[in-house]
Amino acid sequence: MIAYQNIIDKIAIDSKNTLNKGVVASYIPELATINLNKFGIHILDAKNNNYSSGDALEGFSIQSISKVLTLALSFGIIGDDLWKRVDVEPSGDPFNHLSLLELENGIPRNPFINAGAIVIADILASHLKNPKEDFLNFIRELTNDPSIRYNEKVALSEKRTGFKNYAAANLLKSYGNLHNDVEIVLDFYFHQCAIEMNCKQLVNAFYIFMNHGTCQRGKNYLNVNQVKRINALMLTCGFYDEAGEFAFEVGLPGKSGVGGGIVALLPNTYCVATWSPGLNKKGNSKLGMAALEELTTRTGHSIF
Ligand code: GLN
């Protein structure tokens, strides 16, 4: 039995005491107001044991972490046709980069750069009756938690400053890889990023990726091959131009968001979420990455 609790308590204390915590994302004005001193970590293991430390039960903006959940929902709906519209190669570029999209004839490099996630948002806008409501219900169902909500202030804040996302959506539209109106797709995209969840709710949602597509209540959402593909994408593309560094330091498939959250998992073993709002230069949580490196180093629990 691994002493997860002792390890994460120490990580939480060390993180709170660290002086250089990175910087909060300021390009979404609403996120710039978050307290830099927050730090939370939560682990859910395959036997349904929970371990929590720090601010693990405080909600934050999940931002790009939502891209894994929209991918899961759209993959479950349209299956492998999805890969006709988005590729599966790491970009080695920042999340909001546009030139790669251009080079690949309107097919974004992967579903986790913004352009790729906007295509996925378009697929959901086409296939769901009430996209925003249905997506939120999907997350509430995965977590068995009806309290999860969109933060409308964050969605609006990003909409007002989302010029690069408008550019990406318009570029996709010009290539015929966006079937709905730019406004409709981006309204969905800004909302999915503005979902507020805490570390515990995130590990509950990501449980399906460590458990062959089946949630804690036994409902199956994705088959084993689909889960394999999503985990592979998290490993190779989950941290943008820092995916190599995350694999090197942490050794788990995972996904970050500019709200400072990171979720990572070891199939069949555990799922972990961290939250520390200060980001490094690549837009990933500085202390979250350090915490996960410490966790996998101390436990030996990585995929390698
Ligand atoms: N909503 C953010 C954006 O589109 C998501 C980026 C992120 O979390 N990496 O810029």
Has residue 304 been placed in a domain? Answer: no
Has residue 149 been placed in a domain? Answer: yes
Residues 6+ apart with CB under 8 A from 172: 101, 106, 108, 115, 118, 119, 122, 178
* Residue 96 or residue 191, greater confidence: 191
What token pair was written down for 11?
């990580």
CA 1 to centroid of ligand 1, rounded, Å: 37
- Residue 142 falls in which region: left (phi positive, over 0), alpha (psi -120 to 50) or beta: alpha
Q: Is the pLDDT of residue 99 over 80?
A: no
CA 257 to centroid of ligand 1, rounded, Å: 7
Q: Is the pLDDT of residue 21 over 70?
A: yes
Q: Which atom of ligand 1 is nearest to the CA of 190?
A: 1
The confidence score (pLDDT) of residue 91 equals 85
What token pair was written down for 265?
């998992």
Q: How confident is the model at residue 103 (pLDDT cuts 50, 70, 90)?
A: low
Tokens 């500085």 locate to 286
139 neighbors 69 (Cβ within 8 angstroms): yes
Our CA dihedral for 94, 97, 103, 108, rounded to 10 degrees, sits at 80
Interval 213-272: pLDDT, tens: 999 999 999 999 999 999 999 999 999 889 999 999 999 999 999 999 999 999 999 999
Cβ of 96 closer than 6 Å to ligand 1, yes or no, is yes
Compute the mean pLDDT over every residue in the chain, rounded to the nearest whole number: 95
Has residue 209 been placed in a domain? Answer: yes
The confidence score (pLDDT) of residue 95 equals 82
According to the annotation, is 64 in a ligand binding site?
yes
Q: Which of 24, 61, 64, 113 to mutate to test the pocket of ligand 1 (most atoms within 8 A of CB)?
A: 64
State what percent of residues in the chain have pLDDT above 90. Answer: 92
- Write down the ipTM of this complex: 0.96
Domain that holds residue 69: 4-299
Sign of the Cα pseudo-torsion (155, 57, 205, 147, in order): negative
Q: Is the pLDDT of residue 14 over 70?
A: yes
Mean pLDDT, rounded, for 150-166: 96
What token pair was written down for 179?
């079937």
Alpha helices by DSSP H, 82-113: 99-103
Q: Could you confirm whether 240 is annotated as catalytic?
A: yes
Cβ of 285 closer than 6 Å to ligand 1, yes or no, is no
Q: Is the pLDDT of residue 92 over 90?
A: no
Residues 6+ apart with CB under 8 A from 250: 264, 289, 292, 293, 295, 296, 302
Number of domains in the chain: 1
The CATH number given to whatever domain includes residue 17 is 3.40.710.10
Interval 196-213: pLDDT, tens: 999 999 999 999 999 999
Has residue 58 been placed in a domain? Answer: yes
Q: Which of 62, 113, 157, 193 to mutate to test the pocket of ligand 1 (most atoms within 8 A of CB)?
A: 193
Q: How confident is the model at residue 1 (pLDDT cuts 50, 70, 90)?
A: low
